[in-house]
Amino acid sequence: MTKSNVKPATSKLGVMVVGCGAVSTTFMTGVLMARKGLAKPVGAMTQYDKIRVGKGDDKKYLSYGEIVPLTDLNDIVFGTWDVYPANAFEAAVNADVLKAKDILPVQDELEKIVPMTACFDKDFAARLDGTHVKDCKTRWEMVEALRNDIKEFKAINNCERIVMLWAASTEVYVPINMAVHDTLEHLEAAMKANDTKNIAPSMCYAYAALAEGAPFIMGAPNTTVDIPAMWEMAEKTQMPICGKDFKTGQTLVKSGFAPIIGTRCLGLNGWFSTNILGNRDGLVLDEPANFRTKEVSKLSTLESILMAEKQPDLYTDYYHKVRINYYPPRNDEKEAWDNIDIFGWMGYPMQIKINFLCRDSILAAPVCLDLVLLSDLAARAGKVGTQRFLSFFLKSPMHDYTKGEVPVNHLYQQYTILKNAIREMGGYEADEELD
C-alpha cells in the first residue's frame, strides 16, 4: 500500500560513541541486555511508541519499525573513544548506575568495547585529567587521526554504516565566531592553523564523522555542529547532523509542563529551576565556563513556549532562572527542583513545585538509542543537514539562526514534527498540522 523510499537497513551499523562514561555505558549495556531479552529499553520511542497513520476509518497505530526500516538492535556494533582507558565493562561498574545483575550477563561483550585514545584538550574540560589521549600537534591532525580510527573500526567490524554520537562531557563555552565558524573553508583553515581557541576538540570528531560519511549527533550543549561551517560540511557530504543536548530531566519536564500552563491560558510570573547532580557531568559543569554552555542551552526552553508577543497579558516579563549545582552525594541520581509562579482569574497568584528525583543516564540512554537509529534512518532517507524532526530529544534544538529561525521547544509540537517525519519517510501522509 504505502511505500517507503528509504534504503533498507541491511548489514551492520557501527555506533561510535565519544566518551565511555555513565551515559554511554548505560546505553550500551541496555542495548546488549535488551537484545538478549534480559532488559526492556523503556523510554525509547523507536522501541515503544506507536504513531497513527491514516485518518478516520483508515486510522491505525503502527510502531516506528512498521512504518520505516529501522536498524535492528542485533545489527549494532559499538565502538568508543575516551580519555580513560577502562573498557566498557569497567566503566559501567565505575559509573555505578546499574546494578551488578544488570551488567554481568553481558560482561564479555562489554569487555570487548575498549576505548580508542581520545582527542582531548584540557583547556576545554579543566576538571578531567585522563591521559588516554592522542598526541596530535594540530586540530587537523586530530581530524586525520579520527578519520583513521573510523576507517579501521568499520573495516574490522565489517560495518556498512557508521553513526557517531557525542556522549562525552560539556566543553567550555565556545562563542560563535563568524570569522571562523561561518564557512567550511574558514573552519578547515582554522583547524590547519591549529586555532585552539575557536576549534573545540568536538568539532574534530564531527568533521571526521561527516568526512567518513557518518551522521553526527551532539548530545552535550556544545556548539560543535551548531555553526554554518558544519552545515556546509553536512551539505557537502550529504549527511544528517543533529543536536544539541539530550533532553532528559528538568528540561523534559519543563517542555512538557509549560504547555499545561499555556494550554489553559494561565499566566506566568516566574520560573526558578535548580539542579543538583554529582556525576562527572556535574563535576565538569561546576566549572563556570562549562556551565555557561549549559545555561544558555537550558534557558531558551521556556521562552519559545510561553510567548509575550502572543499573550501579552499572560507572559510578559516573567522571570526565568536556571541553576546547576555540583553535589556529589548521589552520583548519577541527579535531582531537579522547580518553583513555578503562575496566576489565574483576576491575576491571583498560585505556586507549583516540581521535585524530580531522576537518574541522568537512565533518561539519556533511550535518547541515545533513538537518536542513533533515527539519524541512521535519516541518512538512508537522503535527509541532509540539521534534522529538526529530532528536536523532540534535545534540550536546545538546532535551527538556522542566521535566517532568524526559531527553535521548537514545546514537547507536543516537537512530537508532531517527529511523527510527521516518520510518516513521510514511511510513505504516509504527514497529516498533522503544527499548531
Residues of this chain, 22-41, that bind a second copy according to CB under 8 A:
26, 29-30, 33-34, 39-41
Q: Where are the alpha helices (DSSP H) in 77-218?
A: 88-95, 107-111, 139-156, 184-192, 201-211
Q: Which of 154, 161, 186, 359 binds a second copy (CB under 8 A)?
A: 359
Radius of gyration of the chain (CA): 21
The C-alpha angle with vertex 246 and arms to 280 and 118, in degrees rounded to 5, equals 50
Question: Within 316-335, which residues bind a second copy (CB under 8 A)?
Answer: 318-319, 321, 323, 325, 327-330, 335
Q: Is 344 in the site for a second copy (CB under 8 A)?
A: yes
Evaluate whether 409 touches 397 at the Cβ level (below 8 Å). yes
Distance of CA 29 to the CA centre of its chain: 18
Phi/psi of residue 43, each to 5°? 100, -10
Helix (H) or strand (E) holding 45: helix 45-48
Site string for a second copy, 291-310 (x = CB under 8 A): -------------------x
Regarding 2 and contact with a second copy (CB under 8 A), the answer is: no
Residue 21 or 267 having the CB closest to a second copy: 267
Judged by beta carbon, residue 380 or residue 419, the one nearer a second copy is: 419
The only residue of 363, 372, 408, 422 in contact with a second copy, by rule CB under 8 A:
363
Residue 351 near a second copy by CB under 8 A: yes
Asked whether position 281 contacts a second copy by CB under 8 A, the answer is: no
Backbone angles phi, psi at 297, to 5 degrees: -65, -40
Q: Residue 109 CB, nearest distance to a second copy (Å)?
A: 15
Q: Give how many residues touch a second copy by CB under 8 A.
A: 85
Q: Which residue among 42, 104, 178, 189 contacts a second copy (CB under 8 A)?
A: 42
Q: Which of residues 175 and 349 has its CB atom nearest to a second copy in the complex?
A: 349
Q: Supply 23's cell numbers.
A: 551515559
Beta bridge partners, 79, equal 16
Candidate residues 365, 371, 374, 377; the one interacting with a second copy per rule CB under 8 A = 365
Residue 364: HSE in the Cβ half-sphere, 13 Å Cα cutoff: 28
Is 75 a binder of a second copy (CB under 8 A)? no
- CB count, 10 Å around CB of 233? 25
To a second copy, the closest distance from the beta carbon of 306 in angstroms equals 12
Rounded Cα gap, residues 72 and 68, in angstroms: 12
The reply to whether 256 sits near a second copy by the rule CB under 8 A is yes
Beta strand 335-343 pairing with 349-357:
antiparallel
Q: Which is nearer to a second copy, 47 or 391 (CB)?
A: 47
- Told to check if 104 binds a second copy by CB under 8 A, we report no
Residue 341 is a binding residue for a second copy (CB under 8 A) = yes
**Dihedral angle over CA of 132, 138, 139, 141, nearest 10:** -80
Strands 267-277 and 335-343: antiparallel
Q: Which is nearer to a second copy, 55 or 403 (CB)?
A: 55
- Which of the ranges 137-145, 165-173, 180-188, 427-435 carries the binding residues for a second copy, by CB under 8 A? 427-435
What are the start-end ranges of the H helices in 249-391? 250-263, 280-285, 288-303, 312-315, 360-380
Site string for a second copy, 400-419 (x = CB under 8 A): -----------xx--x---x
Largest separation between any pair of C-alpha atoms in the chain: 68
**Nearest by Cα to 343 from 335, 334, 352:** 352
Q: Which of 175/344 has CB closer to a second copy?
A: 344
Q: How far is the CB of 24 from a second copy (least distance, A)?
A: 13
Q: Least distance from C-beta 350 to a second copy, angstroms?
A: 5
Residue 58 lies near a second copy (rule: CB under 8 A): no
| Burial (0-12, 13-18, 19+ Cβ within 10 Å), 312 | exposed
CB of 334 to a second copy, least distance (A): 10
